[in-house]
Copies of this chain bind each other. A is one copy, B any other.
Amino acid sequence: MSKIPNPSQKNQTNTAIFERRESKVRSYARAMPRKFIKAQGVWMHDSNNGHYLDFLAGCASLNYGHNHPVMKQALLDYIEKDGIAQGLDLYTEAKADFLNAFESIILKPRNLDYRVMFTGPTGTNAVEAAIKLARKVTKRELIVSFTNGYHGMTLGALACTGNATKRNGAGVPLNNVVHEPFDGYFGADVDTADMLEQRLSDHSSGLDKPAAILLETVQGEGGLNAASTEWLRKIAETAKRHGALLIVDDIQAGCGRTNGFFSFEGMGFTPDIVTMSKSLSGMGLPFALTLFKPSLDIWSPGEHNGTFRGNNHAFVTATATLKHFWADDQFQTEVYKRGEYLSARLEKIADKYGFSTRGKGMMRGIDVGSGDIASEVTADAFDKGLIIETSGAFDEVIKVLAPLTITESEMAKGLDILEQCIRNICSEDVDAAA
């Protein structure tokens, strides 16, 4: 497989069927109007022999790259032998294997005791289950989420999401949620965890006692804002003090993206509920889990159900992922190194143009201060064969979400392109300002 990005031309691709039939709600495709046909590792191939280095990785749902051979083979074998594809919530061998692997490889070594709830196979469904459970357990109704948080598009999760465009889609008021300022929201000098504590301790603040505090440790869609360990610990204490559950939405920051398997490992607190999805299956297949402490497992049978909770294909590839990547520390160590390399390169670029960097681990980006500049840069990058996207309130952060399995030389290649694009677009401004 070629190692040099080699994009095809836009006019080579016929996109008429999409324009004719697919809803205008489509988004990524607009900036990358190619027809992709196959993908392997960090490379995507289009219908005109173009190939692209993938720094988007299915929005962090392809942490192990496209069609990783280990998962691919496991899935082929399973389908070949007529393994159950769809099993509702029946017991299957594939589910048993997953649960056993998750217990022995993930939970036990981390001294975590979580019940596993197979929700509908989307992140938003896992979040819906989490907030339902928190409300059911506490008999309270309010959820505290945070500025710039992103938790999904169904009505319960959407209420917890900050972005105005997404929220506008609801068409009804999004209630029973308040959005409090995230770590650093008012600058480095203002401790927003203390503010939340003050308001919850104040009988007359108008902030009702919440069922849960819901957060991402690193906000993906919200602009790669990484909360400090100290802030997270304070929030965990505040939750506990006021009888609220702490829900960590680890859908984007988890599965090795920012820290260990969970983003909160080693931080000195244990969330009551954790949501997982995206890279969980290891191959980009729909899969989602809600984990919670056994004492919270007060669900009635079928109280939250759904047809595709038993996506056994995903169980199979997820189990392969756990065994292949998480049985020892090696993968995590390498990811950490790659993250450090990424950080150093981004810092250097940012410094040159007076920008700042954001994020943590392998979930980092550059805040170029304006969505217009950021989208010019990513468009230029795509023309050079690099798939990369933006995030943040104004899409002002160019985010690098490469597969964790990327080699250093592949990453260097992508960052070289990114650097070049920023130089092209931002040098003039810098020159002009100088």
Interface, chain A (partner B; CB < 8 A): 13, 15, 17-18, 20-30, 32-40, 44, 47, 56, 58-59, 61-62, 66-67, 72, 75-76, 79-93, 95-96, 99-100, 102-103, 115-118, 120-125, 128, 131-132, 134-136, 139, 141-142, 145-149, 152-157, 159, 161-179, 181, 185-186, 190, 195, 198-199, 202-209, 211, 222-223, 277-278, 283-286, 290, 292, 297-308, 311, 313, 392-394
Contact = CB atoms under 8 A, between A and B. Distances in A.
A79 B68 CA distance: 11
A165 B302 contact: yes
Given A79-B75, A82-B40, A165-B303, A102 B21 contact: yes
Nearest to A143: B172
A307 B58 contact: yes
B170 A135 contact: yes
Contact of A76 (B23, B76, B148, B175): B76
A204 B147 contact: yes
A37 B157 contact: no
A58 B38 contact: no
Contacts of A13: 91
Q: How many copies does the complex hold?
A: 4
A21 B103 contact: yes
A75 B76 CA distance: 9
B123 A124 contact: no
A147 B206 contact: yes
B168 A124 contact: no
Contacts of A211: 171
Contact of A27 (B22, B28, B72, B89): B89
Nearest to A60: B307
Contacts of A62: 86
A32 B90 contact: yes
Given A21-B115, A153-B304, A285-B313, A205 B148 contact: yes
Nearest to A171: B135
A113 B292 CA distance: 45
Contacts of A82: 38-40, 66-67, 72
A302 B23 contact: no
B155 A128 contact: yes
B25 A301 contact: yes
Given A115-B23, A307-B59, A35 B91 contact: yes
A321 to B, nearest CB: 13
A42 to B, nearest CB: 13
A162 B303 CA distance: 13
Contact of A84 (B39, B136, B139): B39
Contacts of A79: 67, 72, 75-76, 79
Given A36-B93, A89-B29, A199-B147, A307 B84 contact: no
Contact of A302 (B25, B44, B208): B25
A96 B18 contact: yes
A117 B25 contact: yes
A172 B36 CA distance: 43
A199 B157 CA distance: 20
A132 B154 CA distance: 9
B118 A22 contact: yes
A299 B165 CA distance: 10
A27 B102 contact: no
B122 A307 contact: yes
12 contacts: A22-B116, A25-B297, A61-B308, A125-B125, A132-B169, A145-B206, A155-B157, A155-B159, A162-B206, A164-B203, A168-B303, A179-B207
Nearest to A43: B82
Contacts of A22: 95, 99, 115-118
Given A79-B75, A128-B155, A132-B170, A121 B190 contact: no
A305 B90 contact: no
A173 to B, nearest CB: 5
Nearest to A204: B393
Contacts of A278: 307
B37 A307 contact: no
A297 B24 contact: yes
